Structure 1
């Protein structure tokens, strides 16, 4: 009789996982019993990392997220090259390995090189933008540059405090500079609160920072606070795992809600795309004022903020038409217009139809400029970009770009080059202003923050650059050089078509049109009218 040997059953994968988990759990229990002090210390360290260090590590998480694609493909290529080297053909393996390394190095950074090139092309190709045929009118022009507003506000502080960066926002039916008064030194920044918000009308030549333009508030977080009391850190603590790796806080602004209460509005950048990451508008986080001590403790432990998605902003009245979108997002949109003439337009050595966002040397508030534009069927704040030709010595206005500041609606582009309009670009305005008054002391003064002003005058829609002449003021050694504009700042309006500078009365903005008519009547004589 044939003897049948007993079969040894194969151990299944599930069984292996079970025994691994069981032995691991038993080992962990034994470790806890034998090293209770060490285990307790590790738990405390984990809690500290969770509640305190998580915001500090978020930049690392975003970096890993941005670099993961090229590293993944690079590692995959190296593994494949190693397998080919050992199993098939050493020459093929070496070739694949070299290609993988070159690919990883070339595409490693999401901010430059071929990867950035492709990301900008993708943005322009698939982003929602519209070409318009008529320039909008401007309203609510700001008299003072942003940096001058910050300096003037600092001069009005009578306590040991600091002023946060001013933000140009809609406050009800007016458009104001808003900023918070925050603690100035280490201990108050760690333990104190933000107790005042200032809101100053931006269209006035003389700014009043006294009590009538201040409101009492109680925020346990602030833009300049330290550690758990920092508004951006509090926002990061509210992120779930998905947002932690894909969203990051940007600007902190103070905006009045529909009930008239001040709220902190933190704009979010969302990194979209894995292989070609692009900064997009991720909505906002709303931090309300503290009602009691428990709110402050909750903020310390779990952060603060209510997320409003970009799609929901249009349904929130006090957020519609606001200045919300981060500068990094709108700048990326503007840079993508380098591809207006096709995929190869920005190619090195080619640059046919290529454009640039010009830098403004010496100006402490580069583009974009946040301005109010009236398009007839809609009027609100936009981030404005004056795009110029790629060559730095060519300073004509190529395209006027309007990015909705609330993130609602498409980007609007008025292409001056298509209409053969030879308008002076923003980077050339400073020289025009300085040349118009050669006897001015330009060693101590400068022309700052050129903003567009568009008016209907004598039957034509005319484009001007509004410039505020500011005085340089040395900083205290920590803030560096600053500049201010006095109670009666000098204002110029430069006709972008004729390069003619008109010095207007800053106290009477309503009379600027009449001043322009009087000063430029001889320049405009003989031109054909155009509706």
Structure 2
């Protein structure tokens, strides 16, 4: 049995702990093997007593009303397993219609993302084509209570969440990206057009600095700090707050003289460093590792 992260639940002023879990299901063909399936939810009351509920019992429990019941890790594993839709051999040969979970920048910024929708809690998982492409191939939503899966396949070519996060960084070069990071890109449809909704948060996770909407076709970025402006944009209205290349209150107001970017082979921006007028850049290249000497190139800014 594989247990999920503990979740605190309050019901009638009493605190409970809910633990969704999965369990193995055995198969004899084509070779004996097991696959994970949703086992249910364990509910722990204040006295320490544990009640194990089946999926149907958990859905009917008043204690767990509106709570996420389906295991988060199982949701991700189930989507990832669709890479074998054309057979195991396909993943070693032609890779036809093979998918992979879209990677995202930053630590602790992993899928699936959890959202509260009008129909209840949902998990969201974006997948990309196999390989170095950063386009969106499919978007999966998983009902957090029933475990039902739905798949959205875009009719047109859209770029994926990793590219959206990169565009948010590029749209705001004045932001200190050593202290902020784009998080949880979620595909949102506004007036029949797809946008990646990206939250920009401080590294200490103390809140949300602003929300950026990235057009999944054109790459245009609109950013808003105020909740009312965000709500208006989601409703397809023109926000009162003018969209800008967002300038959070904690970012530096001074314009950098040089912006240094560390870029991966596939073009993804890994790290950005800003350098100002009173600073210099040093590039060190080891020339003799045994002697410990280095060749240093220094450029003073403004000279």
User: Normalised by the size of structure 1, how large is the TM-score?
Assistant: 0.41
> Following TM superposition, by how much is the alpha carbon of 1:515 offset from its aligned partner in structure 2, in angstroms?
4.1
Tell me the equivalent position of 2:205: 484
Query: What does the per-residue CA deviation read over 1:453-475, in whole Å, with 9 as the maximum and x for residues that have no partner?
Result: 333x3xxx232222222233xxx
The answer to which of 502-511 and 275-284 deviates more is 502-511
Structure 2 unaligned regions, length at least 5:
244-303
Tell me the equivalent position of 2:231: 510
> Following TM superposition, by how much is the alpha carbon of 1:426 offset from its aligned partner in structure 2, in angstroms?
1.0
**Local SS of the residue matching 2:227:** coil
The answer to whether the 8 Å contact 1:504/1:512 transfers is no
Matched positions, count? 236
> Following TM superposition, by how much is the alpha carbon of 1:485 offset from its aligned partner in structure 2, in angstroms?
4.1
Matched, 1:469 2:208: no
The answer to whether the 8 Å contact 2:142/2:149 transfers is yes
Q: 1-side partners of 2:239 and 2:135: how far apart? A: 22
5 Å matches for 1:64-213?
Answer: none
More helix per residue: 1
- In 2 relative to 1, CA 289–518 (structure 1 residues): closer, same or farther, beyond 3 Å? closer
**Local SS of the residue matching 1:497:** coil
Q: 2-side partners of 1:357 and 1:255: how far apart? A: 30
Q: Could you tell me which of 358, 383, 387 is aligned with 2:123? A: 383
Matched, 1:494 2:214: yes
Give me the CA root mean square deviation.
2.5
The answer to whether the 8 Å contact 2:126/2:161 transfers is yes
- In 2 relative to 1, CA 427–516 (structure 1 residues): closer, same or farther, beyond 3 Å? farther
The answer to whether the 8 Å contact 1:323/1:370 transfers is no
Structure 1 unaligned regions, length at least 5:
1-246, 291-298, 473-482, 521-531
> Following TM superposition, by how much is the alpha carbon of 1:289 offset from its aligned partner in structure 2, in angstroms?
1.4
**Local SS of the residue matching 1:431:** helix
Matched, 1:329 2:64: no
- In 2 relative to 1, CA 345–335 (structure 1 residues): closer, same or farther, beyond 3 Å? farther
**Local SS of the residue matching 1:336:** helix
Q: Could you tell me which of 384, 388, 397 is aligned with 2:136? A: 397
Q: 1-side partners of 2:186 and 2:39: how far apart? A: 27
- In 2 relative to 1, CA 277–501 (structure 1 residues): closer, same or farther, beyond 3 Å? same
Q: Which fold has the larger relative contact order, with Cα–Cα distance below 8 Å and residues 6 or more apart in sequence? A: 1
> Following TM superposition, by how much is the alpha carbon of 1:437 offset from its aligned partner in structure 2, in angstroms?
1.6
More strand per residue: 2
Q: Could you tell me which of 351, 365, 384 is aligned with 2:95? A: 351
Tell me the equivalent position of 1:448: 183
> Following TM superposition, by how much is the alpha carbon of 1:518 offset from its aligned partner in structure 2, in angstroms?
9.2
